[in-house]
Structure 1
Amino acid sequence: MEQYEPETLSAPQLAAIRRSMTSGRGALSRRSLLHAAGGGALALGGAAALSACGIPPATRAGGTGKSDDYSDKEKKLNFSNWTEYIDVSDDNKRRPSLEEFERRTGITVKYTEDINDNVEFFGKIKPQLAAGQDTGRDLICVTDWLAGRMIRLGWVQKLDQSNVPHAYANLAEGFRSPDWDPVRAHSYAWTGIPAVVAYNEKATEGRKVTSVTQLLEDPRLAGRVGLLTEMRDTIGLTLLDMDKEPEDFQDDDFDAAIARIQKAVDRKQIRRFTGNDYVDDLDKGDIAACIAWAGDLVQLQADNPAIKFALPDAGFMMSTDNLLIPNKARHKKNAERFIDYVYEPKVAAQIAAYINYVCPVDGVREELAKIDKDLAADPLILPDEKFTEKAHTFRLLSSKEETAYEEKFAKLIGA
C-alpha cells in the first residue's frame, strides 16, 4: 500500500488548515447525512433525500437551455460557490483571483457563498429550473452526482469549447471523462476529493490500518471503527476490497457489499457512520480507524502527528466538485471566460494554495512551487502517478438503481 505521512506542514498549509477546520468547505455539511444520502463518491443526497426535498425524478423538464446571452452588453457574472472555496487575502477582505479576473476582463463578479449542502442548494434552484426560468446564477459549483443529475434533467447548458481553450487544454487526464459527462461538454472540475483509510496510531498502538478488511474484521478495532454516511465512498471502498470495480458492478455485488458491512455492524465492529464529524473522534482516538476524506486528514495532521492515512492496495475513491452553467443563465459567455481563467496554471495554483484540495489543472506544479514548495510536493493537492492510478469513481446510477441502492444503504446505516 502507499502511505503518505508528511512530517511537517508549511506555514501556508497551517494557516489554511486552521481556517478550514472552523469554517468553510471542509467544515460545512456537504459531508453530512443529507449529503451522504446519495452522492457520487463524496456526493450528497440520493433519490430518497431528493424526493423529500421535492426534487422531481430524472426526466427532462424546463424546456431547452437556450436563452439570450447578455454577456457582451452586461459585464457581469453571478457565481454561487461553497464557503471558503476560493483564495482570500490575509486580511480576509479581498479575493485576489476574482479581483484579477475583474481587472483583466472588465467583468464584475457577484460571488455568493450560498452552497452549504448539495441537496439544500438544489432545493433553492429547482423551482426556477423546472419552470424554465433564470436562477439568477451564471455559474455554480456542485458535486459530481448532482452535476450528473442536472445534466440528465437537461437543466445545464452545453459549453462553447472555443471559449474555454485553457480548460480544454489543461484539464488533467484523470478528470477528463466522468461517465456522467464523458467529454466534459457541460462541466469542468473545480477540485477532486479522495476518500481513503485513516487511523490514529496511538489508538491502534502503533499498528498500521491500510484496508477495509481490517476496518470490518480486525477484532482489535472492535467498536472503534468509523464508516461514512456517503454511500459511494463506503460502498465503493468495500467493493474495491472485494475485488470489484466501483465503475462496473452489478446489483448482486452491491448487495454483497451491504451484507458484508451489515455483519460488521451486527458484531458491533462499527462505532458509527458519520459525515465529517468523525474528525474529533479520530483525533481523540475514540475512533481508532475509519474511512475518511484526505483533506480532513491533512488538517488533522497539523496538530496530531499520530493521524495517518493509507491508500489501500485495492484503491480508493475520488469525487469532484464541478463548475456548470444553469439553463437560462444571463451571462453564459462571461461564465465560460471565468472557467477558462481558473484553468490558467498561475491562477489555479493561487486557488489551490488556499483551499488545499486536489487541483485538476495540468501544469500547475511549477506555479504552486513558487508559492510553497511543500504544497507543490503534496500528493493530496497534486497527485503523483502512484496516487492517481489507485483512484476510482462510482459508476453512474439509473434513477431506479439510485432509489433502490439508497434505500438499502439508509437501512444499513440506520437513517
Structure 2
Amino acid sequence: MTEKENTTEMPAAKRPREKRRRWLRLSFVLCVVLPTILGTLYFTLVASDKYVAGAGFSVRSMKPDGRVDIVGAFTGLAGGGSASSDSYIVLRYLTSRDLLERLENDYDFRSAYGSREIDFLSRLDPDEEIEKILEYWERMIHASYDPTSGIIDFKVRAFTAEDSLRVSELMLGYVRELVNGLSERARADVVRYTETEVTRMETRLGDALKAISDFRERGALDPAASAMTQIELLAGMEKQLLEFRVRIAVLEESVGAEAPSLVTLRRQADALEKQILDKSGGLNVMGSEAGLSSLLAEYEELQVEKTFAQKAYASALAALESARIEAGRQQRYLAVYQTPALPEFPLYPRRILYSVLLGAILGVTWGIGTLIVYSVRDHLS
C-alpha cells in the first residue's frame, strides 16, 4: 500500500469517532451545562426567599414510670408507652388534613402561599383541590421525632417572616389542644366503666330500698316483731277464750241451757273465737304457719338484697375513687422547650449550594448514562 493510500484511509476512520465526540459534547452541554446554568439563574435571581420558624416540645405524662426498658436501652427505640404513642399521633397530625383545614379556617393560608410575588415554582395555586394543597403543605413543613428523648421538632417554611411565625404559633396551639384532648379521652376511658358500674349499683340499691318501703306500706313494718306481737295477742285471746269455755262448762251443770248468763257467755266466746280466727290468719299458739311465714321469707329476702346492694355500691364507689386517681396519673401535657420566634434571615433557598448540587447531580447522571450507552454499543458490536 502506498503512502498516499494510507493518508486517504486515516481521515475516513476518524470520522465516526469525531462524530461521536461531537454528539458527546453536545449531550453534555444540553444535559449538564445548560440545565445547570438555568438552575443557577433560577436559584440566584428568581427563587423566592423562605423564612423558617418552628417549635420543639415533648408529650409528657403525669404517671411516673419506674420500669426499665431494656430493649429501648440497647436499640434506642421507645417502648410501647402511651406517651410514645401520643407522640407519634402528634407527628402524624402535623402533616394531616385536619390540621391543614383548621389552618385554612384560622389563617389565610392560600393567600399567604399563593401570592403573585412568590416565584412560579414555589407558589401555591389557590384553586387547587385539598389533596394537592396537602401535598404542597407537606413540602413546607418538616417534623421529626426522637424516640430516645421523646422530643418532637417541627419547622415551617413561609415566604415572609411574619407568616412563618404566625403559622408556627397556630400549629403549636393546635398540637396543645390535641394533646389535651388525648389526655381527656384517656382519663374518660379509665373512669367510664367504673362510673357505669356505680350507676348500676346505685340503681340496684334504690330498687332494694323501694321494695322494702313498698313492703312496709302494706302494713308490715317488721314481720318478725309483728309476728311476736300477734302471737302474744292471740295467746292472750285464746287464754281468755279458754276461761270462757270453762265457765260455760261449769254453768251448764248448774243452770239451764237457756239461762241468760250462759247465753251471754256463749255469745262472748263465739265472738272471741271469731276475732281470734280473723287476726291469726291461720296462726295459732301451737306455731303452725300460713300467711305469716311467707311474709317472713319475703322480708328476709328483701333484707339480704338490701345488704348485698349496699356492699356492692360501697365497693363500686371505692373502685370509682381509685379509677379517678389513676385517671389523674394518665394526664398528658405539652412540655415546650422551644417556642416559635420571628426569623430575621431567610434560610432557603441555599442558592450556591443548590446550584453546585444541581451541576454535580446532572454531571453524575450524564456520566452514568454515557457509560451505559457505550457499554451497550460495545456489546452489540
Common topology (TM > 0.5):
no
Structure with the higher helix share, 1 or 2: 2
The TM-score, its normalising length taken from structure 2, stands at 0.18
Structure with more contact order per residue of length (Cα contacts < 8 Å, sep ≥ 6) = 2
The TM-score, its normalising length taken from structure 1, stands at 0.17
The structure that has the greater radius of gyration is 2
Structure with the higher strand share, 1 or 2: 1
